[in-house]
Structure 1
Amino acid sequence: MTAVDFVPFVERLAKLSAETIMPFFRTTFAMEDKSGGGVFDPVTEADRAAESAMRRLIGEVFPNHGVIGEEFGAYAANSEYVWVLDPIDGTKSFISGLPLWGTLIGLLHKGAPCYGMMNQPFTREKFYGDGRAAHWEGRGADGVPATRRLLVRPCASIDRATLMTTSPKLIPEALRPRYEFLEAKTRLTRYGGDCYAYCMLAAGHVDLVVEAGLNAYDIVALIPIIEGAGGVITNWEGGDPSKGGAIVAAGDKRAHEQALAALRESA
């Protein structure tokens, strides 16, 4: 099977998770802090319910597939196919009533990301890709359903770049000076966004996304979208980003190279 063969099933997962999550959004619901006394890390009933529903469907349809999820950990993670799930990426926005969150559904084949979707059921948008092409699906200004190809924009120099990160405070202290050195070289910085920032990069509205302290479930689904739109995504050393950690994504390889050079220079 190829990634294309799984597209209808990814759509089923997106629909199921949306139906589970949306009754909670902008309502009163139970929430816990799973940080153990560190940086506030909320988890809600919606997170757990959506991941449970998706894992259950995967088990029914593809019992030989593995699953890695934010809320319930890893199952059969060495399988040929492994689903990587983050039911609500951007939980802090979710609990604040802001629509800058999304459900991340990624698929690994032999350890490599082969398909990913970010589904935002409140705005009725989907961003998806297979590493070769990426698309946005939503509604146009006239309210009519629309689909378009995602393409990054050129950015020859980071001094003309728009950079996004969710929050500098989420970057581990040991790495924060390196991030700040890079940020100072860019033209504009915006905070917030979580998975939405990466999708805006794929759509050609942002030039760099730089973060650290990520897990696999935060990034696997986004890799095929960014690469499918013509972008570049690696860790801060220029290596494989699929395990998470410190991540730098760029729409233009020239900006990516300059960002890596700045991160190395400040190490």
Structure 2
Amino acid sequence: MTDFCHFLELLGYEARSLALKYFRSSLEVVTKSDETPVTIADRKIEERLRQMIASRFPSHTVVGEEAGGTISSGISWIIDPIDGTKSFVCGVPLFGTLVAVLRDRRPLLGMIEMPALHERWIGRGGYTTHNGEPCSVSQCKRLADARLCATDHRMFSGGGLDAFELLSQAVRITRFGTDSYGYALLASGHVDLVVEAELKIHDVMALIPVIEGAGGIVTTWAGGPITDDFGGNILAASSAELHADAMRMLMER
């Protein structure tokens, strides 16, 4: 575990260096088949992290947003080189690099690296650090006191949008535009709930050890585990009470 943690730090520094090389520069933005943007920064970061992992752990599987791959039994690494590419290309510093280590398809360790903010969260084995120091979720237990984050209301559709709107009205504060930073803020106690939809496996696997290690809860909207076929909906909360109340509202749509 210690070896993996140290190596995640190295991956974080490498991703930070490459991301800042391209951030707020003139970049060609290409629209992929799923209508999401990609730049040379996404590709270069994933390429470099893949090289580093293959050199250090040649028997491990690597799966990335850009070059793909298939999760295997044993150890798999999941990479999202630029989570929040829309923020990245607009010069907004709330983009990150996500790396997860899976054992037998379940997340073992996770890293949220925020290059432009020089912040890094690493979660493993019931323990999460922020820039090397232990961090933990808030003690919020009531929806009326909760701070809620989501990336964009447009990720919700139909009854899911209606349910999110009801939840948003029930909490104290709602903020958008956070991408993976919202989950990092939850792990440090600054946010109490994150609710999102239409996510993919590379968007979420790194978040799970970070949130759980800080004392939080992360599941599907229905309360199930996040697996490689989880369906895209995610609910992260700082307490069991908040999680239960938010889940009830989301599932009553």
Asked if these proteins are the same fold (TM beyond 0.5), I'd say yes
Q: Deviations over 1:19-55 (max 9, x none)?
A: 222210011011111145xxx5111100011101111
Query: 1:68 aligned to 2:63?
Result: yes
Distance 1:161 1:172, change over 3 A: same
> What amino acid does structure 2 have at the position aligned with 1:121?
P
* d(CA) in 2 for partners of 1:42, 1:83: 23
Match of 2:204 in 1: 219
Tell me the CA shift for residue 67 of structure 1: 1.3
| SS at 2:81 equivalent | strand
- Stretches of structure 2 lacking an aligned partner (at least 5 in a row): none
Give the root-mean-square deviation of aligned CA atoms.
1.4
Q: Deviations over 1:45-72 (max 9, x none)?
A: 0001110111122122212111111111
Tell me the CA shift for residue 174 of structure 1: 4.9
Kept in 1: contact 2:121–2:210 (CA 8 A) = yes
Match of 1:251 in 2: 238
> What amino acid does structure 2 have at the position aligned with 1:57?
M
| SS at 1:22 equivalent | helix
Query: 1:33-72 to 2 correspondence within 5 Å?
Result: 33-36=31-34, 40-72=35-67
Identity, in percent, stands at 40
> What amino acid does structure 1 have at the position aligned with 2:189?
G
TM-score (norm 2): 0.94
| SS at 1:214 equivalent | coil
Query: 1:200-215 to 2 correspondence within 5 Å?
Result: 200-215=185-200
Tell me the CA shift for residue 186 of structure 1: 1.3
Match of 1:123 in 2: 117
The structure carrying a bigger helix percent of its residues is: 2
* d(CA) in 1 for partners of 2:175, 2:13: 30
Kept in 1: contact 2:22–2:41 (CA 8 A) = yes
TM-score (norm 1): 0.90
Match of 2:81 in 1: 87
Tell me the CA shift for residue 10 of structure 1: 1.2
* d(CA) in 2 for partners of 1:98, 1:231: 27
- Pick from 19, 25, 28 the counterpart of residue 17 of structure 2: 19
The structure carrying a bigger strand percent of its residues is: 1
Kept in 2: contact 1:201–1:208 (CA 8 A) = yes
* d(CA) in 2 for partners of 1:156, 1:204: 12
Aligned length: 251
* d(CA) in 1 for partners of 2:183, 2:227: 14
